[in-house]
Structure formats: structure tokens, C-alpha cells
């Protein structure tokens, strides 16, 4: 099948969304935890978290246009802190349900079997049982004019990793924790194993 730009324009909305969201490949599956200034915890699924740099340890994620209420964005801007938690096999259904649009006074923790967890002095909730949990400090945001989305940039201030998936060289084996990836908008895949290679140098 060959789609030209013109073909894509003529597709019905659902087909176009599914096609373009899945053609880029597997994406990270994360739950972002935040809390409002009124103290209401929020958790929502995101598939756009990406590594930006290791020194300082920086991640970014994409927020869709804020033309409608975005509780995660509002909470992050108000408090400056949030958490990123990996979705794993046992919580996929509940994690996906967190994408439902509840009023900001309603916590997704109350509407699912997801459980909140708190570490040290972090006011934002982590997701209990997640094998990799990150406390994030908001740094900056960029408005991407071409499609009116926001790129949120944040620094890892605390990182919690299950001991049994952490290798001696610092590598986190997500397959051992049955961490999920997202294909498109609503399909989840769990890796069975990892294949690692040595650092590559030019052939002589």
C-alpha cells in the first residue's frame, strides 16, 4: 500500500489517526503522575516520553494542544514536579483507562486499580508496582507551531529501579520486568527478551 500526502488528507479521521500514530513504530508506555495545588492526584498514560540527555539526566514528552483542559499540564505548571512510571503487563488495562477524560476533581487512581505511592518529599504520586519510577523537575517547554503541541522538558531528580532488573553496568532490563510498549494509540506489546551488542567501532 502506498499513501501519498494527498491520500492521507482524504482518509477518514479515525483511519488517519490510527495510520499515522502506528507508522512510527513502538513507543514508550508510561504513566505520568501529578498533583493539583488543591491536592488531587492525577495519573495519565503517555506514549511520547523520550531521552534527551544523560548529563544532566533529561527527558521530554509531548502534550497535545491545550485548547481543552489538560490536567497533567496544569498540575506540572503549578507545582513544577511530576513522576514518570513504566507501564508493565499486569496494569495495562487500568493504565490505558487513565486516558479517559475525567473532571479535574476526579483522581484516576480512584477510577482504576492503579495505586499511588509516595517517596521521600515528592508531592506527586508514583504508581505502585512500577519497576522504574522517576521523579521529574520541570525545566522548560517549547511550543511546536507546526501542529500546536508542547514539548515539555524535565530533569530526573530521583530514580527508583527494581533491583532484579538492574545490570551491573547500569543497564535496565525492561523485558525482565515485562514492561509494555505502545503501538499506535491503543495496542500494547510486552518484550520477551533483549539482545545487546557491544559498542560499535568502524571496521578496519
DSSP codes, 5-69: HHHHHHS-HHHHHHHHHHHT--EE-EEEEEE-TTS-EEEEEES--EEEEETTEEEEEEE--TTS-
Question: Is residue 90 a contact partner of residue 115, using CB atoms and an 8 Å limit?
Answer: no
Instruction: Read off the pLDDT of each residue in 128-134 and give the average, rounded to a whole number.
Output: 98
- Give 27-85 pLDDT, tens digit per residue: 999 999 999 999 999 999 999 999 999 999 999 999 987 666 689 999 999 999 999 99
pLDDT at position 76 = 96
| Per-residue pLDDT, 70 | 81
The mean per-residue pLDDT over the stretch 17-36 comes to: 96
**Which residues lie below 8 Å from residue 175, measured CB to CB, with a gap of 6+?**
191, 192, 193, 194
Number of other residues whose CB lies within 10 A of the CB of residue 21 = 16
Is residue 86 within 8 Å of residue 47, measured between CB atoms? no
Tell me: pLDDT of 1 over 70.
Answer: yes
**Cβ atoms of 84 and 30 closer than 8 Å:** yes
Mean per-residue pLDDT, 81-95: 98
**Considering all CA atoms of the chain, what is the largest pairwise distance in Å, rounded to the nearest integer?**
63
pLDDT score recorded for residue 204:
86
Whether 29 and 179 have beta carbons less than 8 Å apart is answered as yes
What is the architecture, at CATH level 2, of domain 29-190? Roll (2.30)
How much is the pLDDT for 69? 63
Please give the share of the chain, as a percent, with pLDDT higher than 70: 98
H/E run at residue 117? strand 116-117
CA distance 91 to 75: 24
> How many other CB atoms sit within 10 Å of the CB of residue 101?
9
Nearest to 98 by CA among 86, 81, 110: 110
Amino acid at each position: 500500500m502506498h499513501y501519498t500526502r494527498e491520500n492521507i488528507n482524504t482518509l477518514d479521521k479515525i483511519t488517519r489517526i490510527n495510520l499515522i500514530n502506528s507508522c512510527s513504530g513502538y513507543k514508550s508506555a508510561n504513566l505520568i503522575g501529578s498533583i493539583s495545588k488543591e491536592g488531587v492526584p492525577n495519573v495519565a498514560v503517555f506514549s511520547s516520553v523520550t531521552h534527551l540527555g544523560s548529563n544532566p539526566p533529561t527527558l521530554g514528552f509531548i502534550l497535545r494542544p491545550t485548547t481543552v483542559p489538560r490536567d497533567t499540564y496544569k498540575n506540572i505548571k503549578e507545582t513544577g514536579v511530576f513522576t514518570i512510571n513504566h507501564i508493565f503487563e499486569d496494569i495495562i488495562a487500568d493504565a490505558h483507562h487513565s486516558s479517559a477524560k475525567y473532571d479535574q476533581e476526579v483522581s484516576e487512581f480512584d477510577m482504576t486499580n492503579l495505586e499511588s505511592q509516595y517517596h521521600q518529599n515528592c508531592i506527586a504520586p508514583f504508581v505502585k508496582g512500577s519497576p522504574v519510577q522517576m521523579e521529574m523537575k520541570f525545566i522548560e517547554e517549547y511550543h511546536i507551531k507546526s501542529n500546536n503541541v508542547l514539548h515539555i522538558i524535565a530533569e530526573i531528580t530521583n530514580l527508583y529501579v527494581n533491583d532484579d532488573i538492574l545490570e551491573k553496568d547500569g543497564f535496565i532490563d525492561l523485558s525482565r520486568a515485562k514492561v509494555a510498549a505502545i503501538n499506535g494509540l491503543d495496542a500494547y506489546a510486552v518484550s520477551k527478551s533483549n539482545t545487546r551488542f557491544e559498542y560499535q567501532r568502524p571496521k578496519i
